[in-house]
Amino acid sequence: MKNLTGLDKLPVGMTGKIKYMTESSNNRRRLLDLGLTQNSIIRNERLSPSGNPIAYNIRGAIMALRVEDTKNIIIELIN
């Protein structure tokens, strides 16, 4: 597989495709419910002043996710 990386490494303005999640905690269910399912497209919209959380566009909605959660989400970079 090419270009696999954690969601936290997705630069602002770039888009990725979600491949899988590494953790299986309560947050996994929550993130899936929020629409972060396999092969969904996610875009880094903008950073907060401190760089954490980060605002992402997923299925037409903007949501802020913490780095603690996003580093467990593995994406494939697309242009």
Partner 1 sequence: MGLTNQSSGISLIRKKFNIEDNNKIVLALAGNPNTGKSTLFNHLTGLNQHTGNWPGKTVDNAQGFFTHNDKEYLIVDLPGIYSLLAKSKDEELARDFICFGSPEVTIVITDATCLERNLNLAIQVLEITNKVIICLNLMDEAERKGIKIDIKKLEKNLGVPVIPIIAREGIGVNKLLNAINDMVEEKIKLNPLRLKYDEFIEKTIKNIEKKLDNILDENFNKRWIALRLIDSDKSILKSINTILSNE
* Residue ranges that bind partner 1, judged by CB under 8 A: 26, 29-30, 33-35, 58-61
| Min CB(59)–partner 1 separation in Å | 5
What DSSP string runs through 26-78?
Answer: HHHHHHHHTT--TT-EEEEEEE-TTS-SEEEEETTEEEEE-HHHHTTEEEEEE
- 5/27 with CB nearer partner 1: 27
- 33/51 with CB nearer partner 1: 33
- 1/61 with CB nearer partner 1: 61
Write the DSSP symbol of residue 11.
P
